[in-house]
Amino acid sequence: MSARASVVINDRAATPVAHTFTPDGNDPNGVCVFTEKTGVPAGDSRFTAQLRNSNGKYRPSLRLTVPVVQTQTINGVESPVVVRSAYVEVQCTFDALSTLQERKDAVGMMANALAANQVMLNDLLTNLNPIY
């Protein structure tokens, strides 16, 4: 079992920015929650990690939520409001009989599929260009 610690994730900006997600407890379902504090709790980016186990299968999953906050003005009163959010999920299912190397290989292949140099897949995910 790993001790809970901050998670640092770089974005893909021209000059990459390291985003630090600090431990923020568990949600009601026991999911480990990490947040990137912004000063406006509704605008905090959120990263969650969970491991479920049932029927001889292990199901680790990660989820990233990145809200976009804008200031709205109503009757001269300014307040922040979430106008949209991006969600990215990674879900795995491993058999209880799988080996460590099998799991490492599968996760490594998926991580490589998400790399910017995988042009076709990157265009699908970031430019929203369909594959034909």
Distances (CA, A) of 40 to 36, 52, 55, 82: 10, 31, 41, 10
66 strand-pairing partners: 86
Torsion of CA 115, 117, 119, 125, to 10 degrees: 20
Instruction: Report which secondary-structure segment, H or E, holds 51.
Output: strand 45-54
Q: By the 8 A CB rule, do 40 and 80 touch?
A: yes
Top pLDDT among 47 and 30 is at: 47
- Evaluate whether 7 touches 45 at the Cβ level (below 8 Å): no
Q: Pick the range with the lowest mean pLDDT from 24-33, 56-65, 110-119.
A: 24-33
What is the arithmetic mean of pLDDT over 34-43?
92
Q: Are 105 and 111 in contact (CB under 8 A)?
A: no
pLDDT band at residue 40 using 50, 70 and 90 as cut-offs = confident
As a whole number, the mean pLDDT across the chain is 94
CB 114 within 8 A of CB 120: no
Q: How far is CA 100 from the centre of its chain?
A: 23
Tokens standing for residue 43: 């605008």
**Residue 59 scores a pLDDT above 90:** yes
Q: How confident is the model at residue 28 (pLDDT cuts 50, 70, 90)?
A: confident
The DSSP 8-state label assigned to residue 18 in this structure reads: E
